[in-house]
């Protein structure tokens, strides 16, 4: 990454141990890249940030004057700006060379090898919806987030296992309630969707207990869900983990003993409680009910423990809906008590906030139980997978999203996803049209590309690996979505002002190669986000 090269040079100059940050400033009058390191240094040096920045810049200038230094190949100009920023302008060759890298690395461009740093083995669990109905729009948010995040983390060199936890235990209350619904003895989950599923397995249900009936019905729902996730959402899970299977082992029992041994449990009113208040929870929680049945808590704790102990993941990432947030301190406390977590990040929980669905100016209440909810399936039928993915991914999970159905549908042409796709399709279309001419992009001389628009586009392309890294470190796919919009804008600007088919064939070849590089980055972005590249628009 270009950014890292700059950091490398600064490290040679700065002996003090301070973090060196280099970033792309918002305003281009502050340079291609910029650093605030003088502010950090001024404290230890007891000089003003401006003085500090000036002395660093003087050293940079001296080194830059030596024609053999690599540094001299990097900086065109460095400048100090009040109150203490150092701004860098890089030579065109830096970006011209980087554009060549894109064409060389192709679909690998943007990825990082985890050499030097430890490549983590990460378990990423998401969706994990209860098998009591179809996936909701809220599930969709977690689904797309998890899928894109997996792609991003893989690009920076981690090994990701995508996992779906199925809450299908016969002994659980939820499955029993589902069974009641299946047998017509209760209406907890009564929906049209389930009624149809029940019809399909009427014979098998006869004479079954509630737990068994619920389990059977759950299997039908899961079959559907799995199919929907793979075929419609285009998400591929590595592991589908069944809660019921956990009940078949002795692991829950063993965990109970382990906690007892550590003195972290006590009995009260016939139930076994975990002292979760010792780990930051607001109250203690039941592990084993007075009926002798384990709660979801101990089952889940067993499951999470299994990720670290048996399967040897170095990090587990869970994506939850907002309604589960209260559960975090309990579960985290349990894992801490067992000595599993070295630091908080080992078990990373990402909470996605609610999606409010607005229809005709009014909020559509979504409840599985009420049965009048708008499903993810319906949403995708209405606005398409690309738009759905893009729209959900462009916002931070912390945002309480308002999703206006009418708007999404009616204005779908103006949805930002089309803006980005349009730019990519334009690239493709230019390539299709011109690649049959005498232009030879494979022998492109990028040094010929030196107009403002050429350079702006190349600079934007060169940021891609840096954006991937930023997105990975912050677990934030929305960074890539925002970047894709910036790139589309930069490309459209380029398109307005520069042409590929110019008289000078060498220049034309270079331009065509630049278009190819742009398309490559677009394709890589689309792969991360899971959206398609239309052939025509």
Beta bridge partners of 315: 122
Q: Which is nearer to RNA, 21 or 154 (CB)?
A: 21
State which of positions 230-269 bind RNA (CB under 7 A): 243, 268-269
Q: Which residue of 8, 92, 416, 532 would you call a contact of RNA, by CB under 7 A?
A: 416
CB of 298 to RNA, least distance (A): 9
Report CA-CA distances (Å) from 78 to 60, 193, 425, 478. 8, 65, 38, 32
What residues does 350 pair with on adjacent strands? 319
Site for RNA in 41-60 (CB under 7 A): 49
Site for RNA (CB under 7 A): how many residues?
89
Nearer to RNA, 108 or 433 (CB): 433
Question: Which residue from 68, 291, 436, 438 is in contact with RNA, where contact means CB under 7 A?
Answer: 291
Minimum CB distance to RNA smaller for 45 or for 322: 322
Residues of span 431-470 touching RNA by CB under 7 A: 433-434
Which listed range, 58-66, 100-108, 332-340, 486-494, lies at the site for RNA (CB under 7 A)?
Answer: 486-494
In this complex, which beta carbon is closest to RNA, that of residue 96 or of residue 518? 518
One residue of 335, 376, 394, 529 binding RNA per CB under 7 A: 394
Residue 497 neighbours by CB under 8 Å, 6+ apart = 451, 453
Regarding beta strands 362-364 and 347-352, do their DSSP bridges make them parallel or antiparallel, or are they unpaired? unpaired
513 vs 299: CA distance, rounded Å: 56
Choose, by CB under 7 A, the member of 52, 172, 484, 520 that binds RNA: 172
Q: What angle do CA 66, 72, 77 make, to 5 degrees?
A: 115
Q: Name the residue nearer to RNA (CB basis): 105 or 354.
A: 354
Smallest separation (angstroms) from RNA to the CB of 348? 13
Answer yes or no whether residue 478 interacts with RNA by CB under 7 A: yes
Structure tokens at 61: 């200038």
Residue 371: CB atoms within 10 A of its CB come to 15
| 275 touches RNA (CB under 7 A) | no
CB atoms inside a 10 Å sphere around CB 161: 17
DSSP-derived secondary structure for 78-97: EEEETTTEEEEEE-HHHHHH
Pick between residue 346 and residue 498 the one whose CB is nearest to RNA: 498
Segment near RNA (CB under 7 A), from 232-240, 414-422, 454-462, 516-524?
414-422
Question: Binders of RNA among 85-144, rule CB under 7 A?
Answer: 85, 87, 130
Strand blocks (E) in 217-288: 239-242, 265-268, 271-274, 285-288
Q: Binders of RNA among 496-515, rule CB under 7 A? A: 496, 498-501
In the complex, least distance from residue 108 CB atom to RNA, rounded to whole angstroms: 26
Among 83, 184, 200, 406, binds RNA (CB under 7 A): 83
Give the range of 95-103, 115-123, 156-164, 475-483 binding RNA by CB under 7 A.
475-483
Identify the residue whose tokens are 């207990």. Answer: 209
Interface with RNA, residue 399, by CB under 7 A: yes
Pick one of 54, 105, 396, 532: the residue that binds RNA (CB under 7 A).
Answer: 396
What residues contact residue 20 under an 8 Å CB cut-off, 6+ apart?
Answer: 7, 10, 11, 14, 35, 37
From 228, 296, 374, 475, residue interacting with RNA (rule: CB under 7 A): 296
Angle at 103 between CA 99 and CA 107, to 5 degrees: 120
From the list 13, 201, 341, 354, which residue makes contact with RNA (rule: CB under 7 A)?
354
What the block records as the tokens of 297 is: 């808590």
219 belongs to the binding site for RNA (CB under 7 A)? no
Cα 123 from Cα 59, distance rounded (Å): 46
Listed in sequence order, the residues at least 6 apart from 434 whose beta carbon sits closer than 8 Å to its beta carbon are 500, 501, 508, 512
Asked if 90 and 37 touch (Cβ cutoff 8 Å), the reply is no
């Amino acid at each position: 990454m270009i950014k890292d090269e700059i950091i490398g040079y600064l490290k040679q100059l700065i002996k003090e141990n301070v973090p060196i940050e280099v970033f792309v400033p918002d305003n281009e009058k502050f340079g291609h890249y910029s650093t605030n390191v003088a502010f950090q240094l001024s404290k230890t040096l007891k000089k003003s940030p401006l003085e500090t920045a000036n002395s660093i810049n003087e050293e940079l200038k001296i080194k830059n004057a030596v024609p053999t230094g690599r540094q001299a190949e990097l900086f065109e100009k460095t400048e100090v700006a009040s109150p203490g920023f150092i701004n860098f302008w890089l030579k065109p060759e830096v970006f011209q060379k980087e554009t060549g890298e894109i064409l060389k690395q192709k679909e690998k461009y943007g990825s990082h090898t985890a050499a030097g740093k430890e490549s983590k083995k990460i378990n990423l669990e998401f969706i994990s919806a209860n098998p009591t109905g179809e996936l909701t729009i809220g599930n969709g948010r977690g689904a797309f987030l998890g899928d894109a995040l997996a792609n991003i983390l893989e690009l920076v060199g981690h090994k990701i296992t995508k996992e779906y936890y199925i809450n299908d235990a016969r002994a659980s209350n939820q499955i029993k309630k589902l069974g009641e619904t299946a047998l017509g003895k209760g209406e907890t989950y009564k929906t049209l969707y389930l009624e149809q599923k029940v019809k399909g397995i009427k014979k098998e249900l006869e004479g079954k207990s509630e737990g068994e009936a619920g389990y059977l019905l759950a299997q039908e729902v899961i079959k559907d869900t799995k199919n929907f996730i793979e075929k419609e959402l285009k998400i591929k899970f590595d592991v589908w983990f069944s809660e019921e299977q956990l009940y078949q082992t002795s692991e829950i029992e063993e965990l109970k003993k382990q906690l007892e041994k550590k003195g972290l449990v006590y009995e009260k009113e016939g139930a076994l409680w975990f002292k979760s208040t010792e780990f930051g929870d607001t109250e203690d929680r039941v592990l084993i009910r007075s009926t002798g049945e384990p709660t979801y808590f101990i089952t889940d704790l067993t499951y999470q423990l299994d990720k670290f102990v048996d399967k040897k993941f170095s990090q587990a990432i869970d994506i939850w809906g907002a309604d589960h947030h209260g559960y975090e301190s309990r579960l985290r406390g349990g894992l801490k008590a067992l000595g599993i977590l070295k630091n908080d990040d080992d078990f990373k929980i990402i909470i996605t906030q609610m999606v409010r669905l607005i229809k005709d100016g009014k909020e559509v209440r979504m409840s599985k139980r009420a049965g009048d909810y708008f499903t993810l399936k319906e949403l995708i039928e209405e606005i398409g997978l690309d738009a759905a993915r893009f729209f959900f991914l462009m916002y931070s999970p912390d945002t309480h999203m308002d999703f206006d159905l009418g708007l999404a549908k009616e204005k779908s042409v103006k949805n930002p996803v089309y803006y980005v796709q349009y730019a990519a399709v334009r690239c493709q279309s230019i390539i299709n049209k011109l690649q049959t001419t005498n232009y030879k992009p494979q022998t492109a001389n990028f040094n010929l590309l030196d107009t403002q628009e050429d350079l702006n586009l190349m600079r934007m392309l060169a940021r891609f690996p840096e954006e991937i890294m930023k997105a990975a470190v912050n677990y934030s796919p929305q960074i890539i979505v925002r970047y894709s919009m910036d790139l589309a804008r930069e490309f459209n600007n380029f398109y307005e002002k520069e042409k590929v088919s110019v008289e000078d064939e060498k220049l034309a070849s270079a331009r065509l190669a630049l278009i190819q590089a742009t398309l490559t980055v677009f394709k890589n972005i689309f792969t991360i986000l899971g959206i398609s590249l239309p052939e025509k628009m």
